[in-house]
Amino acid sequence: MQIRRMSAVAVVAAAALTLAACGDDSGGGSGGGGKVTIGIKFDQPGIGLKQGEKYSGLDVDVAKYVAKELGYKEGDITWKAAPSKQREQLIKSGQVKMVVASYSITDERKKEVSFAGPYFIAQQALLVKKDSGITDLQGLQGKKLCSVSGSTSATKLKAKVPGVNLQEFDTYSKCAEVLASGRIDAMTTDDTILSGYANQAAYKGKLQVVPGVGGDEIYGIGIKKGDTATCKKINDALKKMVQDGTWKKAVETNLGSEYKIDSSKNPPQPAACS
């Protein structure tokens, strides 16, 4: 009997602990002290990259600046991996307060989450070997192209150049690896991500970005649907970031000197919150 009672106490205590842990994990209150969890990419050089305990990239710098403006100290930020396929779920379930992960604003996604920003406008581009001779979209005819399973950029290119031969993997890193080995001719996604690979030590000087093969990718900060208060605060923070020059510096350091920034579109004006 005694043992049974003790175990009952233990179960209750364990349950309480688990619940408490849940409380800590949630995105936290809005602004002012406390901790905040932000979703970023962990595997995209130049955008959001985790190396050991260090995080770097454009998204990381933007997220840090915005968090600071919202009243969180840098040490209070918990970074969480937000792979493309989990971004909506992370926001909806409240596991992260915001997602800054090369997150393009689309009408489909607006049904699920709200966006603050945009903070950057990227374009779809190609990454090719330096001596490949591919300079534009038509150069892809009959060539081998790599992209990530289910990604929209590959579908769009395939519609424009039907003769392209498409191979897909689950990560862009695999594409970059196969591209460097010469088994495929090009890979496609946003120019920001591609510049990140072109600047990586392993590929530096071997790969080259071919811009202007598709439409714009408008990066926003994903937040809970209908949270206009946070959206406005983030937009103010973004405006301030552009004004005081931090934005320009972040873009230049993270995307590299060879990255040709489209200055007719960048820095973008944050859209109205809804």
Partner 1 sequence: MSTLFDQFDVWGAFWMTIKLTVLAAVFSLVIGTVVAIMRLSPVPVLRFLGTSYVNVFRNTPLTLIVFFSLIGLWQTLGIELSAQLSVNAFRFAVIGLSVYHAAFVCEALRSGVNTIPLGQAEAARSIGLTFGQSLREIILPQAFRGAITPLGNTLIALAKNTTVVVTIGVAETAYLMSKVNEDAADQLTNVFILSAVFFVVLTIPIGLLTGRLSKKLAVKR
Q: How far is the CB of 183 from partner 1 (least distance, A)?
A: 5
Cβ-Cβ contacts under 8 Å for 203 (sequence gap 6 or more): 176, 180, 197
List 181, 257, 263, 264, residue binding partner 1 (CB under 8 A): 181
Rounded to whole angstroms, what are the CA distances from 209 to 88, 151, 164? 29, 19, 18
Is residue 169 part of the contact set for partner 1 (CB under 8 A)? yes
How far is 145 from 168, CA to CA, in rounded Å? 8
Stretch that binds partner 1, among 16-24, 177-185, 227-235, 256-264 (CB under 8 A): 177-185
Stretch that binds partner 1, among 130-138, 150-158, 191-199, 240-248 (CB under 8 A): 150-158
By beta-carbon proximity to partner 1, the closer residue of 61 and 88 is 88
Stretch that binds partner 1, among 175-183, 190-198, 223-231, 262-270 (CB under 8 A): 175-183
List 93, 135, 138, 149, residue binding partner 1 (CB under 8 A): 149
Rounded to whole angstroms, what are the CA distances from 203 to 165, 181, 210, 222? 23, 11, 15, 31
Report the relative pairing of strands 36-40 and 98-104 from DSSP bridges: parallel
List 161, 178, 242, 271, residue binding partner 1 (CB under 8 A): 178
Q: How far is the CB of 99 from partner 1 (least distance, A)?
A: 12
Is residue 173 part of the contact set for partner 1 (CB under 8 A)? no
Is residue 129 part of the contact set for partner 1 (CB under 8 A)? no
Tell me the β-bridge partners of 63.
none
How far is 230 from 233, CA to CA, in rounded Å? 5
Query: Do the Cβ atoms of 164 and 188 come closer than 8 Å?
Result: no
Report the relative pairing of strands 98-104 and 77-81 from DSSP bridges: unpaired
Is residue 206 part of the contact set for partner 1 (CB under 8 A)? no
By beta-carbon proximity to partner 1, the closer residue of 53 and 107 is 107
Report helix, strand and coil shares of the chain as percent, to nearest 5: 40, 25, 35
Instruction: Give the SS3 label for residue 56.
Output: strand
Is residue 159 part of the contact set for partner 1 (CB under 8 A)? no
List 108, 201, 245, 272, residue binding partner 1 (CB under 8 A): 108
Interface ranges with partner 1 (CB under 8 A): 84-85, 88, 108-109, 111-112, 144, 149-152, 165-170, 174, 177-178, 181, 183-184
